Amino acid sequence: MVAQTFLMVVVWWKTGHPLYLVIALLMVLVGTLRLRNFRKYNSLPSPTTWEEAHQRENDYILYGTAHGLALGAFCLAGIYFAHDTFAEIAAVCVTLATATSIAGRNYGSPRMVLILIIALTWPISLGFLLRGDFYHVFLGLLSAPFLYAIRKFADTVREVLFTAISEEKKANHLAQRFNRALNTMSHGLVMLGPDGRVAVANAEAAQLMSVRSPEAMLGRSIHGLLMRGVAGGLLALKDCRYIETQLTRALREGKDRKVLVSLSNGQYLEFSAREGSQELGVITFEDVTARVAAEEKILFMARYDSLTALPNRAYFHEVVDEALRTGDRERLCALAVLDLDDFKSVNDTLGHPVGDGLIYAVAERLAVFASDTVKVSRFGGDEFMIYFDKIDGEEHLRAMLDGIFVALQGEVDVAGHSLRIQASGGAVLAQVRDSEVDAMIVRADLALYKAKELGKNNWYLFEAVMDAAFRSRQVMKADLRSAIEASALRVVYQPIVSMNTMRIVSCEALCRWDHPELGPVSPAIFIPLAEEMGIVSEISTFVLHAACAECAKWPDPICVSVNLSAKDFRSREVIEKVKAALAAAELAPNRLEIEVTETALLDDKSQTRAYVEELKSLGVRIALDDFGTGYSSLSYLHKLPLDKVKIDRSFLADVAQSPRSLDLLKGIVDLSKSLGLSVTVEGVETFEQLKILAITVQPDLVQGFLFGSALSSSGIETMSNTTWPFAQDISLARLAARR
């Protein structure tokens, strides 16, 4: 505006025409007002509403229009009113110079652009048109495309600049989001440039590296950052070199690599390095102290027993296996297993918390012996394992185990209960080169079984003969399973005789196994084996079906009795099993008697009672077997729907010599009869016993070897109508007793 006004004054000075002076004074006035308007808004904050911004634009257009009109008037005067060559050239130059800046200076307001173009170019065109000649008229008309070009250029500039501003805002917004995301990460992050120095870092990285701000990390190398930890005493120099080597290699090879670092203050940092894009390398690191602590806790829980803190079965196996694979292969080692005697009774009578307290007390005493060469483990339940890595010989082992057993002796107080520690043990001694963990455990267990057989509260050293017996037992188990699958077992029947008629009224089905090589195997051997193998129910099923099928062939009065195991009464399948056997044999239910053992009743009294009642509802008779061998037998007599009581043979053993035993037996029989139960006395082996039973005790039925050994099915059928020859003697003895 100063230059424009000065040019107007020069034109007036040269031409002396007063019109130029008037226009110059008008220009001074307009310029003064416009400058005041500029200063007014420059001192104010940026507008915050559309209305406020629109008001400012209107003021800008008002003064801008006045400015444009003043320049247009100068141009019109120079071209048409005051004829002077210099004035004409000056007017056109200043106008065109101003017009070319319209697009760059006023693109933000399309109205201002249009008004200024009109105010500047139309006076030029008007001046040329008023000159009248062809050439000036033609020149005046050329202002139209000039007007269009300037406006188009202004629109283009505005679009370009607005686009740039919009993209800048987007970029700034994206940068803010990136910065927010970068600085709210739980991981520290550092990006390295091609020169290996930090180009980007976040707030977490600065905090973990003890730097005041992310900006303070820029330009530093990995070595420089790690050396801060060394200088602060958090990181050892060798660890610093190792970390730097690993991270540098990962960035160079383009492979992900993680490095866990333990700081001297107990903190753990995990560094991860990976190659980024555009030659940038990325290093992230985080505080994993909590994770490491959790992993260590999980590892401890996986390796150690939660109650005793001793190594558990799996970890003990791993430790011993590692010990057997290292060191002198010719050295002697030993493994011992300890088992608490009668521990189940502690749990059953005092509860599991007291049992746990006893195990903890034993573990405390055993842990004293643990060392680099002695490993102590709780193997499970009330069983402990001890491994001795270096043993001088058998005497050395005996001395150590004797010392351990002496240390275990004594009483401990657990929750107010004074408990005496008593344990049995088994041990095996062998050379390392001939040893394997599982084999040593098996042999130590065999020695433990031997110790328990010999009276408990002691330990026994494994002998080779035990291994042979164990292998023989395993072979017998396999043969028994095969015999059951092939139905190679057979059933025999022991007569049950009526005291009144001395004739068979029933019989007990007994299972027999004739081994192809060993010959007849006692039920006292193979039944416990079957229970141990979990297949005793399969034997029960076989006997039940065979007994029902044979009983159906016998004369109608004769019944059959089948003993079901405790395992049979652990599920409702026992009901379906009995139904199926009766249906297959087409046997009347009242001819089948199921013998229930006290063991079955003790497992789950309520459940067993439900099953017994359901069997009773089928019409099957129920007998309580081996009565008197349990501590609570009398309670069953009125709680269960029984038909018969079978008194164990132990009550009959000395009735001929002991009046007290006779009184006890008679009392049990009388009590049972008073409850409406029939009574069978087992174990009758002599005529004298039978005579005492007939005269004094008077049970309903008797059973025993006096009436012969167990018979085949056809033997029972043959003897069904036979009366034993001493029936007459019994009748005479009864008659004499009455007199």
pLDDT 10s digits, 440-456: 998 899 899 889 888 88
CATH 3.20.20.450 domain range(s) in the chain: 488-734
Which residue spans of the chain are classified as CATH 3.30.450.20? 185-293
Gap between the Cα atoms of 235 and 223, Å rounded: 13
pLDDT value, residue 641? 82
Options 3.90.1150.10, 3.30.70.100, 3.30.70.270, 3.20.20.70; CATH for 307-462 is 3.30.70.270
Instruction: Please give the DSSP secondary-structure letter assigned to residue 519.
Output: E
Q: Which two tokens stand for residue 260?
A: 């866990």
What does the pLDDT read at residue 196? 75
- Report the pLDDT value the prediction gives residue 374, as an integer from 0 to 100: 93
Superfamily of structural domain 185-293: PAS domain (3.30.450.20)
Q: Has residue 603 got a pLDDT over 60?
A: no
Least confident stretch, 246-255, 357-366, 585-594 = 246-255
Which pLDDT does position 674 carry in this prediction? 87
> Which pLDDT score, from 0 to 100, does residue 738 have?
66
Is the pLDDT reported for residue 525 higher than 70? yes
pLDDT-based confidence at residue 106 (cuts at 50, 70, 90): confident
Contact residues for 686 (Cβ-Cβ < 8 A; gap 6+): 656, 706
Q: Which residues of 474-494 are buried (b: 16+ CB within 10 A; e: fewer)?
A: eebbebbeebbeeeebebbbb
Residue 267 and residue 477: Cα distance in Å, rounded?
A: 57
pLDDT band at 270; cut points 50, 70, 90: confident
Cα atoms found within 13 Å of the Cα of residue 701, Cβ hemisphere only? 25
pLDDT for residue 99: 77
Identify the residue with better confidence: 540 or 175.
540
Residue 277 has pLDDT above 80, yes or no: no
What is the band of 92 on the pLDDT scale with cuts at 50, 70, 90?
Answer: confident
Beta strands in 252-347 (DSSP E): 257-262, 268-275, 281-287, 332-340
CA atoms lying within 13 Å on the CB side of residue 472: 10
- Tell me the C-alpha to C-alpha distance, in Å, between residue 41 and each of 35, 53, 112, 184, 730: 10, 11, 17, 40, 139
Assess whether pLDDT exceeds 70 at residue 398.
yes
Confidence check: pLDDT of 665 > 90: no
* Top-tier CATH class for 488-734: alpha beta
Buried b (16+ CB within 10 A) or exposed e, 292-302: beeeeeeeeee
pLDDT of residue 737: 65
Q: What is the rounded distance in angstroms from the CA atom of residue 44 to the CA atom of residue 59? A: 14
The top-scoring range by mean pLDDT among 266-270, 569-573, 636-640 is: 569-573
Mean pLDDT of the chain, nearest integer: 84
Sheet with 188-192, strands from edge to edge, namely: 198-201, 188-192, 281-287, 268-275, 257-262
Which of 72-81, 280-289, 554-563 bottoms out in mean pLDDT, i.e. has the lowest? Answer: 280-289
Helix (H, G, I), strand (E, B) or coil at 708: coil
Tell me what the mean pLDDT of segment 166-192 comes to.
77
Residue closest to 722 by CA, chosen among 544, 478, 555: 555
Mean per-residue pLDDT, 705-709: 87
Determine contact, residues 355/454, Cβ cutoff 8 Å: no
Q: Give residue 634's pLDDT.
A: 63
| CA-based torsion, 2, 24, 28, 146: positive or negative | negative
Tokens 């344990």 found at = 423
Q: At what angle do helices 18-42 and 2-15 cross, to 10 degrees?
A: 170
Q: Give the 3-state secondary structure of 99-141.
A: HHCHHHHHCCCHHHHHHHHHHHHHHHHHHHHHHCCHHHHHHHH
pLDDT in the model for residue 568? 86
Asked if residues 94 and 78 have their Cβ atoms less than 8 Å apart, the reply is no
Of 334-338, 614-618, 625-629, which one has max mean pLDDT? Answer: 334-338
Q: How much of the chain exceeds pLDDT 90, in percent?
A: 24
Place of tokens 């399973």: 481
Average pLDDT value for residue range 465-483? 81
673, 653 contact by CB (below 8 A):
no
For residues 139 and 63, give the distance between their C-alpha atoms in angstroms, rounded to a whole number.
29
Beta-bridge mates of residue 593: 561, 621
The C-alpha atoms of residue 380 and residue 342 are separated, in whole angstroms, by: 16
- Is residue 502 within 8 A of residue 453, CB to CB? The reply is no
Q: What is the mean pLDDT of residues 561-568?
A: 88
pLDDT above 90: residue 496: yes
CA 370 to chain centre: 31
Q: Using one digit for the tens of pLDDT, what is the confidence trace for 212-253?
A: 777 777 888 878 777 877 776 777 777 778 877 777 777 776
Nearby residues of 22 by Cβ (< 8 Å), 6 or more positions away: none
Task: Please tell me the distance from the alpha carbon of residue 228 to that of residue 233, in angstroms, as a whole number.
Answer: 9
First-to-final CA distance of the chain: 161
Of 676, 684, 677, which is closest to residue 648 (Cα–Cα)?
684
Whether 624 and 596 have beta carbons less than 8 Å apart is answered as: yes
Return the amino acid letter for 369. F
What is the model's pLDDT at position 651? 85
Query: What is the model's pLDDT at position 283?
Result: 80
Residues of the chain within CATH 3.30.70.270 domain(s) are: 307-462
pTM above 0.85? no
187 or 15, which is more confident?
15
Q: What is residue 560's predicted lDDT score, i.e. its pLDDT?
A: 94
Residue 358 corresponds to which tokens in the numbers above?
Answer: 């006893």
The H-assigned helical ranges of 571-658 are 573-585, 598-603, 605-617, 633-639
Strands 678-681 and 701-702: parallel
